[in-house]
Structure 1
Amino acid sequence: MASVVPAYAEWSNLERRMRALVPEAFDSAGRVLNLMGGEWGHPGKGKPYLSPVDGTVLGRLPMIDGNTARTAASFAAAEARSWAGQDLDARKERVTQCLAMLREQRELLALILAWEIGKPVPQSRVSVDRCITGVEWYVSHIESMVDGRKPLGLISNIASWNYPLSVLVHAVLVQVLAGNSAIAKTPTDGGLYSLTLCMALARRCGLPVSLISGSGGQLSDALVRNPEIACLSFVGGKANGRDIAAALYDRNKRYMLEMEGVNAYGIWHFSDWDGLAKQLKKGFEYGKQRCTAYPRFVVERSLMPRFLETYLPVVSALKVGHPLLAESPDAEPPALDFGPLINSQKVEELHGLMSEAEGRGAVPLFAGRLDSDRFLPDQDVSAYLAPHALLHVPRNCKLYHGEPFGPVDTLVVVDSEEELIAEMNVSNGSLVASIACDEPDTCRRVSNELRAFKVGHNGPRSRGDREEVFGGIGGSWKGCFVGGRYLVQAVTEGEPGERLFGNFHEYTQLPDTR
């Protein structure tokens, strides 16, 4: 069984490689710096930065205050004006150079992600690849997308910790490709080192990017309400998203606010159980710490026995453990389904939600256990949670209406199509939903009633890549939709009075195909 973290994957070795590769991003004591004013500096007030893998202190977040962040934003805004004067071919060349440098560091970035956010190495490699190939697609198609349009200016990026590369770095590189400058806030829970490495390489290529760390409350004036910010891209929870949306209603500022919703999977008049089993297994990747994960299954009563026959063996066989623990010093990291959650506080939160639900009558269907063979002896496992599933969570529980953002599923039994639709629409809008059904007409009919931006038929939906649009319905999304030409439109300006696709306070305009 797995028993050792290979030397090539030890954090001390990875940190040493990073410091040798981008020494400008660290001070003489090895502390990570902020990237502002075109230079690395301002170590700020260090905040301990722990790995969810085993509690290792990876370093310290260089937390700055609001005034320092405002100075960083002012420089970045001035830089936007000069960068907009660069012709498109020059911007494409520099972004392409940056992508080549990122590709050279693919394995290093994947190992860093494993330590920072607990993502298994094979899945981390996919995240790095999606970032690079996604931006390459934009480089190949940008000319037609910016034709007749001009950049907005400075784009502010506040994103969650779960996808530092394939969401945050990807967005920043597309923004600067379109002629804007970009400033990003480092997520406090994960992504400090991977983002530092990527932004250092981008800056070496002459790209107008800035990266700062600090608390959301301290930096909100600089990154949200600041008039020098032309557009805000936010990925996070509903509470913070709603506050940001309220702050933007009376300001002439573009925004894309991606928030959570409960993504539901309905099972109705269905028979392809082998196909569903494969979907269920893949759905647990990264412990369902994804905005497009499906934590809620709404099942026709007569199909519940077959559903459980399919579901329970899948969750029982999931592999959860230390994402860097190998069988020998030179072996590959394990191919797990998922590693830790982002921190022990998240595990405690989920236990609290499950305890509340069970105390009010929910039925615990499955409670997985961690396998000690997938961990080091005496390792801190407080950030790990095996899969759990509950049946009949009462409506007065937080788990009924809220997204768990972890490996906790809720199952609901229904008797009619009307119930199916109602139980799939428990949150005020969602990013995705799916219906498993053998009858195409029923699929279409149910899909038309679901409050989800994307609806899958006999399969899951995701953010998508390249030209595929992404957004949300209701409270799951505010502002411009993104993906393909919609992302470029969101960060550029067209003809006066243009009506962008999105979910705004004043109107909602949906693309024909999503």
Structure 2
Amino acid sequence: MTAVSTLASSRDLLQHKFQQLLNGKLVDGAASQPVIDPATGRVIAHAPVADRQQVDDAVAAAKAAFPAWRDAPVADRADIIRQLANIIEERRDEIARVIVLENGKPLADATADVEYSITWARHIADMSLDGTVIRDDDEAYVEVRRKPIGVVAAILPWNFPFFQFVYKLAPALLTGNTVVVKPSPTTPLSALLVGEALRSLVPAGVVNIVGDAGEVGPMLTSHPDVGKVSFTGSTAAGKRVMASGAETLKRIVLELGGNDSAIVMPDADVKKTAAGIYTWAFANSGQVCISIKRIYVHSSLYDSFCDELAERANNAVVGHGLDPETELGPIQNARQFETVKESLKLAHAQGTVIAGGEVLDGGGYFVRPTVVRDVDESSPLVSAETFGPIRSVMRYDDVDDAIARANNTPYGLGNSVWGEDLDAAEQIADRLESGTVWVNTHFALAPDVPFGGRKQSGLGVEFGREGIEEYTDAHVIHIARQ
């Protein structure tokens, strides 16, 4: 087996034989597909692709492994998660470079994803699964215990391919479930590499990783032996997942699209606020479900804020993620690149582009960070989720109007409020319809804080005690004492 620590260049990846993890064995796919470096457009590796039989074999292996894993002491399961965190930590730099090559994000961001994975895994391993006593009196003892569901299908997106792999896997394992992981077709490498280490870390069948070219997801979401699906992706895809799982009433957690707003209050510090909003609007080249996509600025600050935001966008260094000067990488895949180019056309046709607005030459899927002002909210650039480095700035005069406009969306993942009067900001935050509202920051996630969406941005939550419990069913023990 080639160690992850040797896979630090595109040549290494191209020469490495990537395999699936099925029932404790590394196996080839029924087919294979190329993996593209989005910064160059070149093939950097070939990844396995499962067929129906291999998907069925993976689920069968997970189902067979479930009883013994369910009955294993929680402390033993937690220790394996800690060992996984240690392996990731030892190979941090190499895993980060692989993420850069398959995903495109800058190395600093990829390294942060790996660090988050380590933090999340260790936090989850330390969590208690003790039951909750509801009643303990002369009449009865009532306790709610949490029981694992069975086989969990973890379906990963391409924007955070490694972090989401770990934060779906760790709680599933801790709670006693077995897992079939399906990475995104365009970013499978980091998960497949860690699968090599998992082969000797967990009992056969407890974790299985299958390759995909776009057809495996429905096989898992409709499979009668899959008890839960944890899915991150678009709202449209999430609806299909939910429909697919309906026949067997699967437990489903969906973390879906978002069209997050930021409301800039009239007392905001323009320079400081523009810096913060720029960071969380353009992180990962705008390819984040919970990034800021609609910016509402009080008229008294509108022109100066637009100038500040545009200056930051114009000064951004866009390039290959392995270049230490790079601040923003490419669009992750060719299909999304075409979608973003259509959004650029809308920006020029329906607003005033004050920064960016163009595609960069050079072979990769590069788009300059783009700021658009004076755009009507009926434009799809504002009303739909723009998953790329294009952000719209709208003005408002009355805060009630800003709140109503921010809430006028089918999405409800996150929002933020920016200003100096924290009491007033909190009052605005309380009225915004999203799973999370931040004040003077955005995208501030933590392993102990539940995260999920309202409306069409999702179902259920990740993280925190609540996120752990999503991998379980409630089991009530009621003992009568009279």
Q: Give TM-score scaled by structure 2 length.
A: 0.89
Give distance in 2, aligned partners of 1:355 and 1:81. Answer: 55
Deviation of 1:493 (Å) = 2.2
For residue 380 of structure 1, what is the aligned residue in structure 2? 363
Deviates more, 1:299-308 or 1:180-189: 299-308
Please state whether the residue corresponding to 2:127 is helix, strand or coil. helix
- The structure 2 residue matched to 1:491, chosen from 467, 471, 475, is 471
Query: Does the 8 Å contact 2:33/2:213 carry over to 1?
Result: no
Give, in angstroms, the shift of residue 255 of structure 1: 0.9
1:25 aligned partner: none
CA distance in 1, matches of 2:7, 2:250: 46
Of the three residues 257, 262, 270, the one matched with 2:259 is 262
Tell me the percent identity. 22
Please list, as runs of the form range in 1=range in 2, the aligned pairs for 1:399-418 lying within 5 A after superposition.
Answer: 399-418=381-400
Contact 2:265/2:419, CA 8 A, preserved across alignment: yes
Q: Using the alignment, how far apart are the partners of 1:9 and 1:211 within structure 2?
A: 22
Of residues 179, 189, 195, the one that matches 2:191 is 195
Q: CA deviation at 1:64?
A: 2.1
Alignment counterpart, residue 346 of structure 2, candidates 330, 350, 356: 356
1:11 pairs with 2:18: no
- Structure 1 353/251 Cα, relative in aligned 2: closer, same or farther at 3 Å? same
1:275-424 map, 5 Å: 275-283=272-280, 284-325=282-323, 334-359=324-349, 361-367=350-356, 379-381=362-364, 383-424=365-406
Q: Report the residue type matching 1:380 in the other structure.
A: G
Other-structure match for 2:425? 443
**Does the 8 Å contact 1:14/1:108 carry over to 2?**
no
Structure 2 contact 62–178 (Cα < 8 Å) conserved: yes
Question: Where does 1:205-284 land on structure 2 (aligned, <5 Å)?
Answer: 205-207=201-203, 208-221=206-219, 223-249=220-246, 251-283=248-280, 284=282
Q: Which amino acid is the alignment partner of residue 202 of structure 2?
A: G
Deviations along 1:179-237, one digit per CA (max 9) or x if unpaired, are 111111120121x221111122122112511111224445413x112121111000000
State which of 53, 65, 71 in structure 2 corresponds to 1:79: 65
Structure 1 residue 469 and structure 2 residue 450: aligned?
yes
Q: CA deviation at 1:440?
A: 3.5
Supply the distance in 2 between the matched residues of 1:497 and 1:157 (Cα, whole angstroms).
Answer: 30
Q: Distance in 2 between matches of 1:396 and 1:281?
A: 23
For the 8 Å contact 2:185–2:214, the answer to whether it is kept is no
Distance 2:397 2:312 in 1: 25
Out of 440, 448, 453, the residue aligned to residue 458 of structure 1 is: 440
Residue 109 of structure 1: SS of its match in structure 2?
helix
Which residue matches 1:52? Answer: 38
Contact 1:258–1:476 under 8 Å retained in 2: yes
Work out whether residues 48 and 212 of structure 2, in 8 Å CA contact, stay in contact via their aligned partners in 1.
Answer: yes
**Greater displacement, 390-399 / 165-174:** 390-399
* Native 8 Å contact 1:280 1:314 kept in 2: no
Counterpart Cα distance in 2 of 1:136 and 1:33: 27
Matches of 2:347 and 2:325, distance apart in 1: 33
The one-character-per-residue Cα deviations of 1:383-441 (angstroms, maximum 9, x if unpaired) are 01111122233344322221112110011112222320122123213211011133334
Whether contact under 8 Å (1:117, 1:162) holds in the other structure is yes
- Which secondary structure does the structure 1 equivalent of 2:34 belong to? strand
SS in 1 for 2:176: coil
Show the counterpart of 2:414: 432
Q: Which residue of 2 aligns with 1:121?
A: 107
Give the CA deviation at 1:357: 4.7
Q: Structure 1 residues 8 and 368 mapped into 2: Cα distance closer, same or farther (>3 Å)?
A: farther
Counterpart in the other structure of 1:504: none
One of 84, 96, 99 as aligned partner of 2:82: 96
RMSD over aligned Cα atoms: 2.4
* Number of residue pairs the alignment of both structures matches: 459
Distance in 2 of aligned mates of 1:483 and 1:153: 19
Tell me which moved more, 339-348 or 146-155.
146-155
Q: Is the 8 A contact 1:178 1:488 kept in 2?
A: yes
Q: What SS class does the counterpart of residue 145 from structure 2 fall into?
A: coil
User: In the alignment, residue 473 of structure 1 is paired with which amino acid?
Assistant: R
The equivalent residue for 1:22 is none
Provide the rounded CA distance (Å) in 2 between the counterparts of 1:204 and 1:99. 14
Answer yes or no: is the 8 Å Cα contact 2:155–2:217 preserved in 1.
no
Pick one of 128, 133, 140 that aligns with 1:142.
128
For the 8 Å contact 2:256–2:456, the answer to whether it is kept is yes
Q: Where does structure 2 lack aligned partners over 5 or more consecutive residues?
A: 1-5, 133-143
Stretch of structure 1 that moved more, 432-441 or 138-147: 138-147
Q: SS in structure 2 opposite 1:141?
A: coil
Query: Quick one: which amino acid aligns to residue 199 of structure 1?
Result: G
Unaligned stretches of 5+ residues in structure 1 = 1-6, 20-29, 326-333, 373-378, 499-514
What is the alpha-carbon distance in structure 2 between the residues aligned to residue 469 and residue 356 of structure 1? Answer: 36
Deviates more, 1:247-256 or 1:75-84: 247-256
Alpha-carbon distance, 1:95 to partner: 2.0
Map Cα deviations across residues 260-298 of structure 1 (whole Å, 9 max, x no partner): 020010112223123213313422222121122102101
**Residues 244 and 43 of structure 1, relative CA distance in 2, 3 Å threshold:** closer
| Equivalent residue letter for 1:443 | A
- Residue identity in the other structure for 1:294: I
8 Å CA contact 2:129, 2:175 repeated in 1: no
SS in 2 for 1:433: strand
Q: In 2 relative to 1, CA 116–59 (structure 1 residues): closer, same or farther, beyond 3 Å?
A: same
Give the residue type in structure 1 aligned to 2:119: T
- Asked if 1:34 corresponds to 2:20, the answer is yes
Runs of 4+ in 1 over 4 A off after TM superposition: 368-372
Alpha-carbon distance in structure 2 between the residues aligned to 1:497 and 1:272: 55
SS, match of residue 242 in structure 1: helix
Q: Which has the higher strand share?
A: 2
Contact 2:29 2:48 in 1 (8 A): yes
Q: Could you state the TM-score of these two structures normalised by the residue count of structure 1? A: 0.84
CA distance in 1, matches of 2:33, 2:83: 33
Q: Is 387-396 or 429-438 further displaced after alignment?
A: 387-396
Q: Quick one: distance in 1 between partners of 2:277 and 2:442?
A: 10
CA distance in 1, matches of 2:26, 2:107: 29
Change (3 A) 1:101 1:15: farther
Distance in 1 between the 2:311 and 2:19 partners?
A: 47
Aligned CA distance change for structure 1 residues 249 and 450 (closer, same or farther; 3 Å): farther
- 1:323 and 1:370, CA in 2 relative to 1: closer, same or farther beyond 3 A? farther
Distance in 1 of aligned mates of 2:342 and 2:333: 15
